């Protein structure tokens, strides 16, 4: 190994370590803040090395909030149901579109593709969902608008089906008397696990992180996802007290509320599942991102 | 007829997906007429009176139209340039790392910000910039002997803050995509160059960058096609919807949202949305036309 290679490798490590730290350190600050004593925060601000530790925020979170647990439940529910439904209808549309012999296939494919280029925008979409379908303040509002099926994912799956599933296999199964539905779930789905994992991960992440639909279509705190609770807490910490079990003596509970650390504690419990799950899925995720970029 | 019948199970499968597209994507397109109407819910959307270009006239008479257009375009231009430089730079460096373990570790960490929601990003930014307890005001600035800054009231800092947040959140994603392109390059080019005595820097300039140019061009033109859109979360959540900052944080997406849900000004909001959709569409067509000029393979259509 010559001098130049060593120098380059050293430089690469230095830059990447610095950048990685920038990416990671804010999470450390967040976590440390959540286990700092509230008084200490008020005096010295958020710190990586707090003077006084306290798990008060987590204790509060534990004894308190039906609201937080409810929000966690809503988030898990929409993530599971939304991702499953999304994979089903996306693959059910992508499979027929991948069949070159389908009459009218190009027309339907264009119908999907055009949604990537042009849309009606927020105001008409909002009016369709609230005036025509009246999904305001329902669970549907967290699952359906914008998230359920994305044209891009349909095209991604279609390309995958076209390039990896050999036509002769489909043909011979069809000659053996398999129906189209049987072809779909006995042959196409089992051969498509990589793309299912990729799209599934993208969708699960989109549902877990979604705060937009909640902000636009939901005003009832019982239907708030974790992200929506976080969203409200940032602007209005009293929101929690007014929706807690202690609503009757709200003024007292606000006084006791470790507000700054409590915010950070909820942020921590919202991000931890992603941090734990991600390393297991990294392989698929990176592959999926690159398929997406190359096949556009 | 018989042929269509044979395919009927396939059409049946497509029904849920097509129905969703019609509801979620196509029905709202008809709603674009709202921009030309004086919406009155008592009369319904179709029954409301036509007002021609009145909504647009109001929109473009205010200074809002200028501010949101300027902000949207300038931020996007900055994002395109900086994401390109940082993404390609990180990818080239990451490609130099030969240890599988280290490379995987770096990739995992720099993609973390991409995985979290903008609400959480706004919490992270708040822990740095909060007036009373933020890390900047309480720890960094006192060390430098500078007075605390009221970040959420000072518009002048936000072009830098928002750009930094955007790069922080998006760099990992861009890096992985460029890295995939670099890994696809045939190693023989580098072997030959090394034999000829080319330095690393020359190899990067003469081999790596020219060979990933198609990916760079494609991603850049796609971004230019979307220059009239912005990440709503970045511009709404991260500045905490602070009114004092609107001069440097308001973009078309946040303007439309506030017009619709906070001010109830549906006409003007719809006009701004229409302006965005239409110009956005023209820009997508134009950038696709340019991609085709460079390389038909990379064009979207």
Does A288 score more than 80 pLDDT? Answer: no
Dump pLDDT digits (tens) for A5-50: 899 999 999 999 999 999 999 999 999 999 999 888 888 889 898 8
* Predicted pLDDT at B149: 93
Residue contact A93–B126, C-beta within 8 A: no
Does A1 score more than 80 pLDDT? Answer: no
* Predicted pLDDT at A253: 55
Tell me how far apart the alpha carbons of residues B227 and B236 are, in angstroms, rounded to a whole number: 17
User: Strand, helix or coil at B37?
Assistant: strand
* Predicted pLDDT at B298: 66
Q: Could you tell me the two tokens for A20?
A: 């990685």
* Predicted pLDDT at A289: 73
* Predicted pLDDT at A86: 98
CATH assignment of A60-292? Answer: 1.10.3720.10
Residue contact B135–A46, C-beta within 8 A: yes
Extents of the domains making up chain A: 60-292
* Predicted pLDDT at B143: 92
| CB of B83 less than 8 A from some CB of A | no
Does A208 score more than 50 pLDDT? Answer: yes
Residue contact A180–B29, C-beta within 8 A: no
Is-contact B80 B220, C-beta < 8 A? Answer: yes
* Interior angle at CA B225, CA B221 and CA B229, nearest 5: 130
Residue contact A263–B281, C-beta within 8 A: no
Tell me how far apart the alpha carbons of residues A86 and A154 are, in angstroms, rounded to a whole number: 10
Q: Give the number of other Cβ atoms within 10 Å of residue A42's Cβ.
A: 12
| CB of B218 less than 8 A from some CB of A | yes
Mean of all residue pLDDT scores within chain A: 88
Beta bridge partners of B50: B37
Closest CA to B203 of B215, B189, B217, B216: B189
pLDDT band, residue A135 (cuts 50/70/90): very high
Tell me how far apart the alpha carbons of residues B148 and B138 are, in angstroms, rounded to a whole number: 8
pLDDT band, residue A71 (cuts 50/70/90): very high
What are the chain A neighbours of B177 within 8 Å (beta carbons)? Answer: 289-290, 293
* Predicted pLDDT at A241: 67
The ipTM estimated for the assembled molecules is: 0.91
In sequence order, the 6+-apart residues with CB closer than 8 A to the CB of A164 are A191, A192
Does A296 score more than 50 pLDDT? Answer: no
A67 or A34: which carries more pLDDT confidence?
A34
| CB of B197 less than 8 A from some CB of A | no
Q: Which strand (E) or helix (H) includes residue B135?
A: helix B135-135
pTM score: 0.92
Of B97, B126, B237, the CB nearest to A13: B97
* Predicted pLDDT at A256: 66
Average pLDDT over residues A94-100: 94
* Predicted pLDDT at A63: 75
What are the chain B neighbours of A132 within 8 Å (beta carbons)? Answer: 27
User: Strand, helix or coil at A53?
Assistant: strand
| CB of B21 less than 8 A from some CB of A | yes
Poorest-confidence range of A99-113, A187-201, B33-47, B86-100? B33-47
Does A242 score more than 90 pLDDT? Answer: no
How many helices and strands (H and E) does chain B possess?
17, 2
In this prediction, the residues of chain B whose per-residue pLDDT falls under 70 are 1-2, 298-300
Tell me how far apart the alpha carbons of residues A189 and A87 are, in angstroms, rounded to a whole number: 11
Closest CA to A37 of A58, A57, A52: A52
Tell me how far apart the alpha carbons of residues B290 and B61 are, in angstroms, rounded to a whole number: 33
If you count residue pairs, one on A and one on B, with CB atoms under 8 Å apart, how many are there?
273
Q: Which strand (E) or helix (H) includes residue B225?
A: helix B209-225
* Predicted pLDDT at B5: 79
User: Strand, helix or coil at A166?
Assistant: coil
* Predicted pLDDT at A254: 57
Measure Cα distances from A63 to A32, B102, B236 in Å.
21, 42, 32
| CB of B263 less than 8 A from some CB of A | no
Is-contact A241 A259, C-beta < 8 A? Answer: no
């Amino acid at each position: 190994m010559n001098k130049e290679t060593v120098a380059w490798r050293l430089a690469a490590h230095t830059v990447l370590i610095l950048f990685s730290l920038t990416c990671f350190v804010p999470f450390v600050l967040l976590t440390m803040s959540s286990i700092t004593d509230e008084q200490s925060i008020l005096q010295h601000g958020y710190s990586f090395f707090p003077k006084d530790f306290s798990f008060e925020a987590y204790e509060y979170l534990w004894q308190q909030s039906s609201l937080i647990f409810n929000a966690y439940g809503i988030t898990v529910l929409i993530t599971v149901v939304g991702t499953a439904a999304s994979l089903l209808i996306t693959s059910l549309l992508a499979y027929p579109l991948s069949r070159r012999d389908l009459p009218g296939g190009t027309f339907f494919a264009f119908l999907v593709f055009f949604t990537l280029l042009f849309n009606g925008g927020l105001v008409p979409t909002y009016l369709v969902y609230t005036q025509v379908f009246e999904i305001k303040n329902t669970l549907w509002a967290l699952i359906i608008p914008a998230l359920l099926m994305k044209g891009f994912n349909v095209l991604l799956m279609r390309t995958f089906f076209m390039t990896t599933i050999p036509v002769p296999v489909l043909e011979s199964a069809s000659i053996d008397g398999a129906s189209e539905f049987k072809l779909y779930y006995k042959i196409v789905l089992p051969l498509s696990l990589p793309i299912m994992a990729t799209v599934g991960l993208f969708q699960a992440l989109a549902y877990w992180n979604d705060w937009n639909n909640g902000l636009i279509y939901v005003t009832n705190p019982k239907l708030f996802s974790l992200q929506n609770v976080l969203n409200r807490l940032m602007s209005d910490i009293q929101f929690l007290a007014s929706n807690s079990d202690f609503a009757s003596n709200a003024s007292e509970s606000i006084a006791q509320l470790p507000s700054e650390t409590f915010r950070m504690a909820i942020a921590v419990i919202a991000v931890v599942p992603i941090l734990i799950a991600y390393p297991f899925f990294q392989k698929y995720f990176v592959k999926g991102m690159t398929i997406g970029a190359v096949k556009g | 007829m018989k042929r269509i019948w044979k395919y009927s199970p396939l059409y049946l499968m497509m029904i849920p997906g097509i129905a969703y597209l019609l509801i979620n994507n196509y029905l709202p397109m008809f709603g674009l007429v709202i921009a030309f109407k004086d919406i009155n819910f008592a009369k319904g959307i179709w029954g409301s009176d036509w007002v021609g270009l009145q909504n647009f006239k109001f929109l473009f008479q205010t200074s809002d139209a200028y501010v949101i257009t300027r902000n949207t375009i300038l931020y996007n231009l900055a994002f395109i340039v900086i994401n390109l430089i940082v993404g390609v730079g990180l990818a080239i460096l990451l490609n130099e790392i030969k240890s599988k373990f280290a490379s995987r570790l770096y990739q995992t960490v720099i993609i973390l910000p991409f995985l979290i929601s903008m609400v959480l990003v706004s919490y992270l930014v708040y822990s740095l910039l909060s007036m009373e307890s933020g890390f900047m005001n309480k720890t960094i600035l006192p060390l430098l002997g500078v007075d605390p800054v009221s970040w959420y009231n000072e518009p002048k800092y936000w072009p830098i803050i928002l750009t930094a947040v955007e790069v922080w959140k998006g760099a990992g994603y861009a890096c992985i995509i460029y890295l995939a392109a670099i890994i696809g390059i045939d190693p023989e080019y580098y072997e030959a160059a090394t034999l000829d005595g080319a330095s690393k820097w020359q190899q990067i300039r003469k081999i790596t960058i020219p060979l990933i140019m198609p990916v760079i061009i494609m991603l850049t033109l796609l971004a230019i096609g979307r220059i009239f859109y912005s990440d709503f979360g970045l511009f709404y959540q991260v500045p905490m919807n602070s009114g004092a900052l609107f001069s440097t944080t308001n973009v078309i997406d946040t303007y439309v949202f506030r017009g619709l849900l906070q001010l109830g000004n549906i006409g003007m909001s719809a006009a701004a949305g229409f302006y965005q959709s239409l110009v956005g569409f023209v820009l997508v067509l134009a950038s696709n036309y340019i991609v085709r000029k460079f390389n038909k393979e990379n064009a979207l259509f």
